């Protein structure tokens, strides 16, 4: 009889909990529906960035200098370059307002082209703050292409060394364009004897 009684207590206890839970749900329907809806829909750009972040090399990029380290790793391990020791200066000190008049809409400027052992890249902070990760990567590969590979702009196809630079690439297309930059398909060199660089 004692056992039977304690069972009733437990069962009625459970029923009470269910009723309380239901009541509290009924009282706050707006809150629960607000929690369910967001975070489901991602933009194409966000989905693209997730694919880049999952890549073992691009996924390690956190600081500005990390872009150079990733560029160096890919160039040296996959395309046979030896970039040697470089004095690296990559800063976001440009803005749309303070870019010089010839390049007032420049997203980035490479000052180290044709200078051995010097990487000197200025990034436009206004553009940078609005760019997705994969667009930042395109911009940095473009500027490091100028600065380290001495690559000039090319015309015609939608390549990393085009100007204006491409908006965004899916990861597989970026890797193809990256290969064509490093392997020379899309590489036209600056004339480093030009007084502009001296």
Point out which residues bind Zn ion (CB under 5 A): 163
Closest chain position to Zn ion (CB): 163
For Zn ion, give the closer residue by CB, 113 or 134. 113
Residues 93, 106 contacting (CB under 8 angstroms):
no
The CB-of-146 to Zn ion minimum distance in angstroms stands at: 6
165: part of which helix (H) or strand (E)?
A: none
The CB-of-120 to Zn ion minimum distance in angstroms stands at: 14
The CB-of-149 to Zn ion minimum distance in angstroms stands at: 12
- How large is the angle between the packed helices 171-182 and 44-53, nearest 10 degrees? 60
For Zn ion, give the closer residue by CB, 75 or 145. 145
Residues 122, 111 contacting (CB under 8 angstroms):
yes
Question: How many residues in total does the chain contain?
Answer: 198
For Zn ion, give the closer residue by CB, 125 or 152. 152
Name the nearest CA neighbour of 71 among 144, 159, 176: 144
The CB-of-131 to Zn ion minimum distance in angstroms stands at: 15
d(CA 89, CA 134): 21
For Zn ion, give the closer residue by CB, 25 or 163. 163
The CB-of-130 to Zn ion minimum distance in angstroms stands at: 19
For Zn ion, give the closer residue by CB, 78 or 163. 163
User: Quick check: helix, strand or coil at residue 105?
Assistant: coil
Name the nearest CA neighbour of 150 among 88, 179, 192: 192
């Amino acid at each position: 009889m004692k056992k039977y009684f304690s069972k009733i207590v437990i069962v009625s206890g459970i029923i009470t909990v269910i009723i309380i839970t239901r009541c509290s749900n009924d009282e706050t329907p707006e809150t629960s529906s607000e929690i369910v809806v967001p975070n489901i829909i991602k933009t194409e750009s966000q989905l693209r960035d997730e694919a880049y972040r999952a890549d073992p090399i691009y996924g390690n990029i956190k600081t500005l200098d990390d872009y150079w380290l990733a560029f160096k790793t890919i160039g040296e391990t996959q395309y046979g370059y030896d970039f040697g020791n470089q004095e690296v200066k990559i800063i976001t000190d440009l803005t749309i307002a303070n870019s010089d008049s010839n390049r007032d809409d420049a997203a980035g400027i490479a000052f180290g082209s044709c200078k051995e052992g010097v990487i000197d890249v200025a990034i436009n902070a206004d553009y940078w703050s609005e760019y997705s990760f994969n667009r930042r990567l395109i911009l940095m590969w473009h500027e490091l292409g100028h600065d380290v590979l001495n690559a000039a702009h090319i015309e015609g196809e939608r390549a990393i060394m085009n100007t204006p630079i491409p908006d965004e690439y899916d990861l597989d297309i970026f890797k193809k364009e990256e290969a064509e930059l490093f392997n020379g398909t899309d590489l036209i060199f600056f004339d480093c004897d030009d007084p502009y660089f001296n």
